[in-house]
A and B are shown apart, each in its own frame.
Chain A
């Protein structure tokens, strides 16, 4: 208490000054309403400004939190987007081959649409990787084709992917039938000489068969992996080979292996039966 009184005595001039100026200011503000409104405005402005400043500061401090939340949300969205993309791709590939899959003639065969994951066309043995594997029921030696023609034969499977040895591989041999003017002739073996990725060679067609440029080549019913009549390509040109008594035919392959996006895998429901007969 004594201390308080000491302070009061020490600063009496200041206290009186504060009291008198407060008195003057209240009078000034009360007497003139314009001044009162002005002062109120100024105080309000100050209050609002401090509030907005406080808001800005808290927002700035929260930015880190907000950022991490946004990142999480973004990750979720990207994940969802990827899932949707995958589903969309599946649907698209299915749509592409819908006619073939749904046709009632092919009750014996089941078709699985697949996306191409990886492709090669400049190697001696070109392979394609598809995004369907043993979990989808894919096995070795199943045939693969798409709307443009034959792609190849499944040579290797993993759980989710399969490797397809394409017809432009030096290991591939494919029995064919030729559609000539006089009808289908089941003859010839399709091979690839490793030069041009669009052109394969057809061997084993005898000189007696009359063929012409532009004739279509289809799969043969004798081939294990395919059924009869899937398009392969067209005859580009041919020569008579006198030594072996057969034609040497260049075939323009229907599938462009540079730009291949999707393919259908053929599952033969009765292949086990056929195989058991063959073994006997």
Chain B
């Protein structure tokens, strides 16, 4: 995602899809795929760290508004997206150690293993922070993190291959 039009489309598209479709999953009331982090994960790094931070925070707030968590438990999506957006450049550095120029960087050129580790790490970080403030016990937090991460990763990998073509 390099140009602004796709970014704006993706921003609202991800938000709407998450609010309208994926928030209705709710296996066992807590296990839920959060696919909107697709937007945060695949912004092109050339946009700059500040831009990534702000957009990820705003999409988090958008989801909070949409899924009614802002008034119930506070901006938990906003917080977890903010943290994810802040640490995303570090993850990118790890998976793209050979590329010096960020212009040459593209998610399409990476091998599947690297992309998968990237998605896995980001997903688990985001979900853990998300469930940390949901008022569950620590074991339940870990369980719901793992199960939700499983569904999210599944959907993210599918969508990655769909958008790659």
Do A and B assemble together? yes
Chain A interface (Cβ < 8 Å from any Cβ of B): 12-14, 16-17, 20-21, 24-25, 27-32, 34-35, 38
Residue from the list A12, A13, A29 in contact with B74, Cβ < 8 A = A29
Chain A residues near B131: list those with CB within 8 A.
none
Given contacts A12-B50, A16-B50, A24-B79, contact A31 B71 (CB under 8 A): yes
Whole-angstrom CA separation of A34 from B73 in the bound complex: 9
Query: B159 on the interface (CB 8 Å rule)?
Result: no
Chain A residues near B116: list those with CB within 8 A.
none
Residue from the list B50, B57, B76 in contact with A28, Cβ < 8 A = B76
Does more than half of chain A's interface fall in helix, strand or loop, or is it mixed? helix
Whole-angstrom CA separation of A38 from B76 in the bound complex: 16
Question: Contact: B74 with A30, CB < 8 Å?
Answer: yes
What are 5 pairs between A and B in contact, CB < 8 Å?
A17-B82, A20-B57, A30-B74, A32-B73, A32-B135
Chain B residues near A16: list those with CB within 8 A.
50, 53-54
Q: How far is the CB of A180 from chain B (nearest CB, A)?
A: 103
Question: Contact: A32 with B133, CB < 8 Å?
Answer: yes
Question: Contact: B53 with A13, CB < 8 Å?
Answer: yes
Which single residue of chain B is at the shortest CB-CB distance from A14? B86
Whole-angstrom CA separation of A79 from B102 in the bound complex: 84
Number of interface residues of B (CB under 8 A): 19
Q: How far is the CB of B49 from chain A (nearest CB, A)?
A: 5
Which residues of B from 82 to 128 have beta carbons under 8 Å from A? 82-83, 86
Question: Contact: B75 with A24, CB < 8 Å?
Answer: yes
Question: Contact: B72 with A32, CB < 8 Å?
Answer: yes
Question: Contact: A34 with B74, CB < 8 Å?
Answer: no
Does more than half of chain B's interface fall in helix, strand or loop, or is it mixed? helix
Question: Contact: B73 with A28, CB < 8 Å?
Answer: yes
Chain B residues near A21: list those with CB within 8 A.
79, 82-83
Query: B78 on the interface (CB 8 Å rule)?
Result: yes
Question: Contact: B83 with A28, CB < 8 Å?
Answer: no
Which single residue of chain B is at the shortest CB-CB distance from A39? B133
Given contacts A28-B133, A35-B133, contact A13 B86 (CB under 8 A): yes
Question: Contact: B79 with A25, CB < 8 Å?
Answer: yes
Q: How far is the CB of B62 from chain A (nearest CB, A)?
A: 14
Given contacts A31-B73, A32-B73, contact A24 B78 (CB under 8 A): yes
Q: How far is the CB of B140 from chain A (nearest CB, A)?
A: 14
Whole-angstrom CA separation of A13 from B72 in the bound complex: 29
Q: How far is the CB of B40 from chain A (nearest CB, A)?
A: 14
Question: Contact: A32 with B74, CB < 8 Å?
Answer: yes
Which single residue of chain A is at the shortest CB-CB distance from B78? A24
Question: Contact: B78 with A17, CB < 8 Å?
Answer: no
Chain B residues near A28: list those with CB within 8 A.
73-76, 79, 133
Contacts A21-B83, A27-B74, A29-B74 given; 7 further ones with Cβ under 8 A? A13-B86, A16-B53, A20-B53, A27-B75, A31-B70, A31-B73, A35-B133
Which single residue of chain A is at the shortest CB-CB distance from B85? A17
Whole-angstrom CA separation of A30 from B78 in the bound complex: 15
Whole-angstrom CA separation of A100 from B74 in the bound complex: 99
Which single residue of chain B is at the shortest CB-CB distance from A35? B133
Question: Contact: A24 with B74, CB < 8 Å?
Answer: yes
Which single residue of chain A is at the shortest CB-CB distance from B52? A13
Whole-angstrom CA separation of A21 from B56 in the bound complex: 12
Given contacts A24-B78, A27-B75, A28-B73, contact A35 B53 (CB under 8 A): no
Whole-angstrom CA separation of A206 from B83 in the bound complex: 124
Whole-angstrom CA separation of A34 from B57 in the bound complex: 24
Whole-angstrom CA separation of A12 from B48 in the bound complex: 12
Residue from the list A13, A20, A35 in contact with B73, Cβ < 8 A = A35
Chain B residues near A38: list those with CB within 8 A.
135
